[in-house]
Amino acid sequence: MASRELEVVHSPQVETPPSRGPLSAFLDRLIGPFHRGEAPERKPAMGFYTDTTVCIGCKACEVACKQWNQLPADGFAWTGNSYDNTGELSATSWRHVKFVEQFADNQPPEPTGNGRVSLHVLPDQPHDVRWLMMSDVCKHCVAAPCQQACPTGAIIHNEFANVYIQPDICNGCGYCVAACPFGVITRSTLSGHAHKCTLCYDRQKDGLVPACAKACPTASIQFGPIDELRERARRRVEELHRRGVPGARMYGSAPTETYTELHSFYLLVDRPEVYGLPEAPFNPWLHMLGDYFRTAIAGAVTLAVPLAAFLLWGA
């Protein structure tokens, strides 16, 4: 018979709210969000390390994510972009496996008149070809533009130092969508709220590994304390260089001039653009004060004009 390891021993004391009338329900809806939950104590920072060199592009992460988070499908459209029919990260796709076919001249030649293809092009071409695969996800930036942007405090850095959108708070202003330099977040057409990878916050709270990392058959997606992951990744890069894998590099494991490190970082074997990642992500907030300043000056100068006019001629 089945193991009972997860069965509740004590009968659950569910905090059932006292039955309330429509008015108090309305009031609760009004006031509820203003009640702050008591912040849990901070835990060691957790994150993802995605080693693209062992990714087989199976998309288990995508399905495992949809299953755990009960997300709807994004529609059945064949993109023709290699085996990538997911297309992009969105409010309903929190994992996205990318496929990059690297062959000499990947674009099909134009049809010729008689169409005959001469033999000499083939078949003695070298096989130095690559089919790169990478499972993309929210980067869980240490200083996350989306979190900085969020006007409602729906987006928080939770106790695991992950970026988490509180679905009961978000009001769908869309600022986080505009702020994300990686194009991770969109607003759900169903709920009107912004959604993205939660790094399985609910699972982590119970000591479980995020669904995608658990499913990944080749350990391309690894989850754990961020420091351990960084160390593991560093060793892996050295190993790859020893094996003569050119261009093995980390992405987002360390802060740059214009961006913090990412709590979901990658091991790539080519330039980030090839994988659709910005070469040098930029945190918009580096501009904010300057922009305020320029605006203030401009405002003052502008107001000075009517003021002068009023003082000189208006009196």
Rg of the chain in Å (alpha carbons):
25
Shortest distance (Å) from residue 4 CB to other proteins: 7
The residue within the footprint of other proteins, chosen from 24, 25, 217, 235 (CB under 8 A), is 217
Q: What is the largest CA-CA distance in the chain?
A: 94
Q: Which of residues 279-308 bind other proteins (CB under 8 A)?
A: 282-288, 290-292, 294-299, 301-303, 305-307
The residue within the footprint of other proteins, chosen from 19, 21, 112, 246 (CB under 8 A), is 112
**DSSP string over 38-86:** PPPPP---EEEEEEGGG-----HHHHHHHHHHTPPP-------STT--S
The residue within the footprint of other proteins, chosen from 207, 242, 244, 246 (CB under 8 A), is 207
Q: How far is CA 128 from CA 54, 104, 125, 269, in A?
A: 18, 9, 9, 14
Q: Which of residues 164-203 bind other proteins (CB under 8 A)?
A: 164, 166-175, 177-183, 185-194, 201-203
User: CB count, 10 Å around CB of 243?
Assistant: 9
Closest CA to 162 of 201, 203, 135, 193: 201
The residue within the footprint of other proteins, chosen from 139, 157, 233, 252 (CB under 8 A), is 157
The residue within the footprint of other proteins, chosen from 21, 22, 111, 246 (CB under 8 A), is 111
Q: Is 100 in the site for other proteins (CB under 8 A)?
A: yes
Q: Is 158 in the site for other proteins (CB under 8 A)?
A: yes
The count of residues interacting with other proteins (CB under 8 A) is: 188
The residue within the footprint of other proteins, chosen from 211, 240, 268, 269 (CB under 8 A), is 211
Q: Is 3 in the site for other proteins (CB under 8 A)?
A: yes
In one letter, which amino acid is 182?
A: F
